[in-house]
């Protein structure tokens, strides 16, 4: 049993924390989206996290999304090289073990990145996954890249979008019967919040889909701030940045808007139009998330692990310090509601009432992605938080 916290719809998703009326689970209004929450003490062990996710799955009856024999994908982020705050293997192993009670066809999945690194193609990605503890021997399920060898295996999925009438998603995810998305909420330079919606929309888009999402981002170099350290030049995936006499320079014809330069810069020398560019990117990301799950009604469950939350996403190839004490694990059949709960719980835990994007110091918040998801019908901004004892 647990308690239920009603959270009303908010005109501003940043909200003022979690407020509402407690009632028993038996009396809850089932017309609302339920978000299940297993609290954890700060710095929980891997075993404690694994036990919490099992409790959550059982309480939510999450595996009702799986029918016997279903191809069931577990989508998560293995963490870039040197990243240590990504989701731990024990959590994924616990989910796999639960799923095996329903179907033998369980697999781990991811897609390749736009930027240079250890996840830019399937071979490097799977090698890193094994290094981080996500091998078949350790987890009990194979790892299948959803977008093929180099990120080009895709399906064009029709959607009723505001920006696009179709999106390009990773091919194998289109043929998957059931999907469990396990997300690690963090700040994000353009999305504000990197959580479930980003894990679906950006994380399960093909390379072309990722490029479309980033196409609105037009970074520029602030010459007075640039110190010509060379990091952006070295890591630009399209060699779009060159060294000028006094500052780096971005070739707009080559730039794909991936934002890697902004993430890497330590001198605040990269900028773009936050009022337009980032909002468009967030909307495109959400439309790709819609394309990922549109043909899977009632076949998705979404888990957010609020442990080791950092300012930047797990794509950063370095160890990051967490921003705040760990909170626990959330789960819902509603991808929007689980991200709303993430925003509210982080705000409630912050002394200044700030949600995760603001705690991370992001110039852009997550309001655009959350409201666009609601408009598309991806889920509800109104939910009930069911706290499990």
What digits encode the pLDDT tens for the residues 38-81? 999 999 999 999 999 999 999 999 999 999 999 999 999 999 99
Q: How far apart are CA 233 and CA 231, in angstroms?
A: 5
Which CATH fold topology does 220-271 show? Alpha-Beta Plaits (3.30.70)
For residue 329, which of 225, 229, 125, 183 has the smallest C-alpha distance?
Answer: 183
pLDDT over 90 (residue 340): yes
pLDDT over 70 (residue 149): yes
DSSP strands (E only) in 216-350: 220-221, 241-243, 248-250, 270-271, 300-306, 328-332
Domain layout of the chain by residue ranges: 2-214+275-388, 220-271
pTM score: 0.85
What digits encode the pLDDT tens for the residues 176-223? 999 999 999 999 989 999 999 999 999 999 998 998 998 888 889 999
Residue 61's contacts (CB-CB under 8 Å, 6 or more residues apart) are none
Please state which CATH class domain 2-214+275-388 belongs to: alpha beta
**Residue 283 phi, psi (nearest 5):** -65, -40
């Amino acid at each position: 049993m647990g308690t239920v916290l009603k959270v009303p719809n908010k005109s501003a998703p940043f909200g003022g924390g979690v407020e509402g009326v407690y009632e028993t689970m038996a009396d809850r209004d089932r017309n609302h989206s339920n978000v299940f929450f297993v609290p954890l003490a700060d710095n929980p062990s891997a075993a404690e996290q694994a036990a919490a996710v099992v409790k959550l799955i059982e309480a939510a009856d999450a595996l009702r999304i799986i029918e016997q024999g279903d191809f069931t994908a577990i989508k998560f982020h293995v963490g870039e090289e040197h990243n240590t705050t990504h989701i731990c293997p024990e959590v994924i192993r616990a989910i796999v073990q639960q799923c095996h009670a329903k179907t033998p066809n369980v697999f781990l999945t991811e897609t390749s990145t736009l930027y240079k690194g250890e996840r830019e193609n399937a071979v490097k990605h799977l090698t890193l996954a094994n290094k981080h503890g996500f091998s078949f021997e350790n987890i009990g399920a194979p790892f299948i890249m959803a977008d093929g060898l180099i990120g080009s295996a895709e399906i064009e999925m029709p959607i009723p979008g505001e920006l696009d009438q179709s999106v390009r998603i990773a091919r194998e995810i289109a043929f998957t019967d059931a999907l469990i998305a396990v997300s690690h909420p963090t700040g994000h330079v353009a999305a504000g919040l990197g959580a479930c919606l980003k894990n679906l929309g950006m994380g399960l888009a093909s390379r072309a889909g990722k490029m479309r999402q980033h196409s609105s981002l037009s970074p520029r170099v602030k010459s007075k701030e640039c110190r010509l350290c060379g990091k952006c030049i070295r890591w630009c995936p399209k060699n779009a940045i060159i060294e000028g006499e006094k500052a780096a320079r971005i070739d707009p014809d080559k730039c794909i808007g991936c934002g890697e330069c902004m993430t890497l810069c330590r001198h605040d020398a990269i900028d773009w139009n936050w009022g337009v560019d980032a909002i468009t990117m967030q909307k495109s990301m959400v439309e790709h998330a819609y394309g990922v799950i549109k043909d899977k009604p009632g076949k998705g469950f979404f888990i957010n692990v609020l442990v080791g939350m950092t300012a930047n996403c797990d794509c950063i190839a370095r160890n990051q310090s967490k921003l705040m004490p760990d909170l626990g694990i959330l789960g819902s059949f509603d991808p929007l509601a689980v991200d709303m709960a993430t925003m509210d719980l982080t705000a409630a835990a912050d002394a200044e009432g700030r949600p995760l994007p603001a705690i991370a110091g992001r110039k852009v918040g997550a309001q655009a992605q959350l409201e666009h998801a609601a408009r598309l019908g991806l889920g509800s901004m109104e939910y009930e938080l069911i706290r499990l004892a």
